[in-house]
Each structure stands twice: as C-alpha cells, then as structure tokens.
Structure 1
Amino acid sequence: MVLLSKNEIETVMSTLNEEQIYFLQHRTKQKKKSRWLQTLANYKGFDINEKMSDQEIEEKLDDWILVDIKDGGYQKRPHKCDCGQALRFQYIIRNKAQDAVRYLGENCFENYLSLPASVIKDVKKGLYSIDLERDEILVKYKKNLFYPLDKYMHLPLPQDLLDQYELGLPLSDNQINLVERIHTRYEEEKKLASLFQRLTIEQQQFVSKLNQEDRRELLLSIEDGFAESFLYIEDLSEFNEALHRQIQLNLPLLERQKQTIEEWRLTKKREAALHALSPEQQKFILSFGKEEQTSLLDQIHKPLYFSYESIENLLLDDTIKKQVELKLPLLKEQIYQIQLAQNKRDKVEV
C-alpha cells in the first residue's frame, strides 16, 4: 500500500463524523510524537521501556520535541519555514527548556537538530509508517472492512484501540495482529493457570518461585502428564539444591536442565572410558586438544577402522601409526589421510 493523496484522504474524511476525524488526527499526531521521542531517546542512550508515558520520556530528554508535521498536499506549498522557504511539509518542534517553537522545512529540520542522517532516516521511516496506517484505516472504512472485535472484548486491550472500535473505525492490520497476540497470550495464561491447579501444594510453592519464562516452560511440559518427562539421575551431588528439590517433587526438568544433565552424563562416560585405558593410551589421548579428546573418547567402544599391520608400510605421520598401534580410534581427518595414502600406494603398485 502507498500513501493516499491529500484529495483521497479528504474524500474519505468527509464521510466521517467529527469524533472520528478528531480521533484519527489526534491519534496520528500522538503516534508521531511517540515515535520521535523513542527514536531520540534511543539515540541519546536513555533507558526507556514500553510502560513509560510520552511525558516521562519527554522530561528525560529535555530537548527539541516534535509537535506536528503538516502536509500541504501534492504540488502545494502553503506552509513556511522559519528561513522563509515555502513548504509542503512543515515540521513543528518545541523546546520546553528554551520556551521556543520552530517551524522548519525538511533541510532546516535536519540541520537544526544536528542529528546523524541515520537517525533522521529512522524518524522519517517511522512517521511514514504512521501515515500509512492512518490511510489503511481510511481505506478499510471506505470498503466497510471491520474486524469482529466484539469477540475479544474480554481481553485486556489498549484503551485507544477500544476507543477506535467504539467510534466505528476499522482496525489496521498491525492492530489486528496485536489483538490476536493478546488473545493467544490470554488463552495460554488460562491454560497455565489450569495446569498449575493440577499440582500439589508443595509443587505449586516450588513452581511459584521460578521466573516467568521457566514457570511457563515447566507448566506446559506437564500438559499431557509429567511422569514420562521425569529424568532419573544416578548422582545428584554435583547439582544445586533447587534441582534436587525439583526432582524430589517429581516435576519435569527444563530443556536447559536436561541439556546440562546430558552433558554431565557424557562427561562422566568419557571419564570412565579414559580411566579404562592403559596409562600409555591415556597419555596419548590427553596429548590432543579438548575437542579431539572428546571425539576420540566417544568412539572408544566402537570397532576400529584399521589394524596396525594394514597401515604399517604407508607413508603416514608417526602419530597416526602410533594411535593405530595403541588400538585407539581415529579422527575423521586421520582416516582421510590413511585413505589418501592407500590410494597412492595402490596407484604405484598398478
């Protein structure tokens, strides 16, 4: 979708009532101001969050704030820059500390604020998307395309979205996506609450102490019954008290916990494999790097590729020959070297 022309906007606007017109104009202006504040705050490195109001962000900035952008229409220049130039687009900015207001064109706007081109680009991109959403609402109104929000009135929806619906204005695609995300989250919260009630008092007390993300993962994992999710661990001495308690309560483990335990088991298995070797074999394997040691120990009980007699006369590195002589597994690149040496020998013999 592209922006509507000023005439197209005015044509659809003329079919709206005064409340609808005011809402759209006020909403567009507020969203532009919010986008400006967020972009400027991010550029200046201020710590802001979605719960902060525009006024709170504005107080932090103490800087030039975008008040409005006026569009005179295609091929029209009814506005004036402070420098005297006739304008189609007029940027109105205000500085509370200096008690000053400036009316600027695009070039003066960029130069006056002394912001990097990338920041100005982000501002313009954001403002364009806000105008695009306004036009989308107007087009949907003209085509009578209304989302059935009445089915979701039980959800904790943003007030401005409810106001828009009550005024008889359609929702943009972004707003519809927001409603559906809120609905999905609401349904999941209901499911989580139901799953939580299935737990014993002791299990509930434990789960309540988890952070939100971990609590969600654990509860969802018991949806189809958690007995099969339980992992038996032979030795708990190396794990923290919380994990001990979780297992004692027969609660399933989180994926990161399962991964930690699996890595621990592999480490124990590799240690056992290493200790089962002769001192000479152990010393030889420990001469490799950590990753190579892991690869070799994982293959200890697998059949060997080559016997010493089959490679004894090949042109190979002494390390590989010694490794085969000690009846130790080989790395992939070592096997490749042996195969190359065999091919060379076979060609010579032919």
Structure 2
Amino acid sequence: MVLLAQKEVEAAMGNLNEEQIYFLTYRMKIKKKSRWLQVLANYKGIDIDEKMSNQDIEEKIKDWVLVDILDGGYKKRPYKCDCGQSLRFQYIIQNKKEGTVRQLGENCFENYLSLPSSVIKDVKNGMYAIDLERDEILIKYKKNLFYPLASYMHLSLPQDIIDQYEAGLPLSDNQIKLVERINARYEEEKKLSFLFQRLNINQQQFVSKMNQEDRRELLLSIEDGCAEGFFPDEEILEYEETTQRQIQLHLPLLERQKQEVREWKLAKDRQEQLHSLTPEQREFILSFSKEDQAALLDTVQKPLYYSIESIKNLPLETRIKKQVELNLPLLKEQIYQINVAQNRLQNLS
C-alpha cells in the first residue's frame, strides 16, 4: 500500500463527521509523538516499556521532543519556519531541559536536531507508517469495512481501540491483529483455568507455585492427554526434587524435564555399558573425548567390523589397531581410515 495523495486524504476526510475527523487527526498526532519519543529513547539507550506515558518518557529523555505537527492544508502554506520559510507542515519541538520551543520545516527539523541520519530515517519511517494507517482507516471507511468489535468488548482492550470503534471508524489491520491476539490469550486463560480446576488439591498447590510459563505448559499437556510413563521407585529418587514430586503427583513433565530424564537415563545406560567392559577396555575408551566415548558406548554391543588379523598389515595408527585388538567398536572416521588403507594396498598389489 502507498500513501494517498493529499488531495485524496482531504476528500476521504470529507466523508467523516467532525468527531471522527478530530479523533483521527488527534490520534495520528499522538502516535507520531510516541514514535518520536521511542526512536529518541532507543538512540539514547533509555529503557522504556508499554506502561510508560509520553510524559514519563519525556522526563527521562530531557531533550528535544515533538510537541505537534501542524498541517496547513492542501496547497496552503500558512505557517512559518524559524528560518522564515513558508510552510504547509510545521514541526513544533521543545527542549525539555531548557524549555526552548522551535517551529521548523522538515529540512530545518532534521538539521537543527543534529541527530544521525539513521535516527532521522527511523523517525520518518515511523511517521510514514502512521500515515499509512490513517489512509487504511479512511479507505476502509469508504468501503464500509468494519470489524465486528462488539463481539470482543468483554476483553481488556486498549482504550484507543474502543474509542475509535465508538467514534464509528474502522480498525486498521494491525489493530485487528492486536484484538485477536488479546482474544486468543483470553481464551487460553479460560482453558487454563478450567484445566487447573480439574486437578486435585495437592496438584493445584504444586502447580500454583510454578512460574507462569511452566504452569501453562503443564496444564496444556494435561489437555492434550499427555501422561508420563512408569518410573520405577529407585529411579525417581535419582531425579531433581521438583521432578520427583511432579511424578508422585501424577502430573506430566515439562519438555525440559523430559529431556533431563532422557539424558539421565542415557548417562546411566552408558555407565552400565562402561562397567561391563574389562578394566583395559574401560581405560582405553576413557582416553577419548566425551563425544567419542558416547559414540563408542552406543555401539559397544554391536558386531565388530574388523578383527586384528584383517588389519594388522595395514598402515594404520597404533591406536586403531589397539582398539580392534581390545574388541572395541570403531568410530566412523576410523572405519574410513581403514577403508582408505585397504584401497591403497589393493592398488599397490
């Protein structure tokens, strides 16, 4: 979508009543001011959050802030820049620290602030996006494309969305997406509450102590019918205390807990495999890296590829021959080395 020409904007505005025109114009000014403050705060490395008002952010910035953007109208230049040039659009900025006010055109606005071009570009991109949203609302109004917000008024919606709906203006696509995200969260919270009520009192007490994200994952696992497998009592005692309690309460494990259990069982199996070897075999395998140890132990019960007789005349590392002599499995790269050595020997004969 591209911006409407100013003449088209004014024609579309002519279809609105005074309340709608005021709402849309005022709202766009506030959004542009907010965008300016956000860009400036990011540039200065100032942390801001959604709960902070524009005034709160201004107090933190203590620099030039955008007070207003005045539009004199199509083909009109009723305003003046501080440099004397006639303007249609006038940027009014104020230094929060000194109280100084400047009334500038676009070029002087950029030059006066002495900000990097990247910051000015961010400001302009933000202003452009806000104007696009205004045009989208105007086009939707003309085409009578209204979102059925009445079905979502039970939600905790942003007040500006409610005000816009009550003023008889359509919502932008971004606003609709926000409403649908809020509704999705609301529906999920209802589902989680229902699932929580299905738990017995001991399970509820346990789940209530979990952080929000873990609680959500656990309750949704219950909805999906996820059940944990049988855990022998002697195994349970080896797990982390929280995991033990969860199993005892017949609650599903979180994905990270399942991974921990899998890793614990794998480590236990590998320890058992290691202790099933002779002392010499065990000492030899432990000389490898952790990753190679795991690869060797995973194949320690499988048939061996080579006997010592089949490779003793090959030009190989002593380590490989010793490994085969100890009836231990080989790594993939070691098997590759043997194949290369065999092919070379065949080519020479």
Give the TM-score, by structure 1 length: 0.93
Corresponding residue SS for 1:102: strand
Task: Trace 1:243-282 onto structure 2 (pairs within 5 A).
Answer: 243-282=243-282
Tell whether the 8 Å contact from 1:230 to 1:250 is kept in structure 2 after alignment. Answer: no
Code of the residue aligned with 1:258 in structure 2: it is K
Corresponding residue SS for 1:235: helix
Code of the residue aligned with 1:235 in structure 2: it is E
Cα distance in 2 for residues equivalent to 1:281 and 1:77 = 91
Is 1:220 paired with 2:181? no
Stretch moving more, 99-108 or 191-200: 99-108
Tell whether the 8 Å contact from 1:90 to 1:105 is kept in structure 2 after alignment. Answer: yes
Specify every segment of 5 or more residues in structure 2 that has no aligned partner in the other structure, as ranges.
Answer: none
Code of the residue aligned with 1:298 in structure 2: it is D
Tell whether the 8 Å contact from 2:228 to 2:250 is kept in structure 1 after alignment. Answer: no
Partner of 2:240: 240
Cα distance in 2 for residues equivalent to 1:333 and 1:114 = 61
Partner of 2:60: 60
Code of the residue aligned with 1:317 in structure 2: it is E
Superposition CA RMSD, Å: 2.0
Partner of 1:161: 161
Tell whether the 8 Å contact from 2:218 to 2:252 is kept in structure 1 after alignment. Answer: yes
Stretch moving more, 172-181 or 71-80: 71-80
Give the TM-score, by structure 2 length: 0.93
- Kindly provide the CA deviation profile for residues 240-267 of structure 1, in whole angstroms up to 9, marking residues without a partner as x: 3322221211111100111111111111
Cα distance in 2 for residues equivalent to 1:316 and 1:72 = 87
Tell whether the 8 Å contact from 1:231 to 1:252 is kept in structure 2 after alignment. Answer: no
Is 1:27 paired with 2:27? yes
Tell whether the 8 Å contact from 1:230 to 1:252 is kept in structure 2 after alignment. Answer: no
Specify every segment of 5 or more residues in structure 1 that has no aligned partner in the other structure, as ranges.
Answer: none
Stretch moving more, 86-95 or 44-53: 86-95
Partner of 2:228: 229
- Kindly provide the CA deviation profile for residues 208-227 of structure 1, in whole angstroms up to 9, marking residues without a partner as x: 1111100000000001435x
Cα drift, residue 189 of structure 1: 0.8
Cα drift, residue 78 of structure 1: 5.5
Report how many aligned residue pairs link the two structures: 348
Cα drift, residue 77 of structure 1: 5.8
Code of the residue aligned with 1:32 in structure 2: it is K
Tell whether the 8 Å contact from 2:59 to 2:96 is kept in structure 1 after alignment. Answer: no
Cα drift, residue 238 of structure 1: 4.2
- Kindly provide the CA deviation profile for residues 150-178 of structure 1, in whole angstroms up to 9, marking residues without a partner as x: 22222211111011111111111101111
Task: Trace 1:193-212 onto structure 2 (pairs within 5 A).
Answer: 193-212=193-212
Partner of 1:135: 135
Cα drift, residue 29 of structure 1: 0.6
Percent identity, aligned pairs only, is 71
Partner of 2:289: 289
Call closer, same or farther: CA 1:72–1:318 in 2, change over 3 Å.
Answer: farther
Code of the residue aligned with 2:60 in structure 1: it is K
Code of the residue aligned with 2:93 in structure 1: it is I
Call closer, same or farther: CA 1:258–1:78 in 2, change over 3 Å.
Answer: same
Tell whether the 8 Å contact from 1:231 to 1:253 is kept in structure 2 after alignment. Answer: no
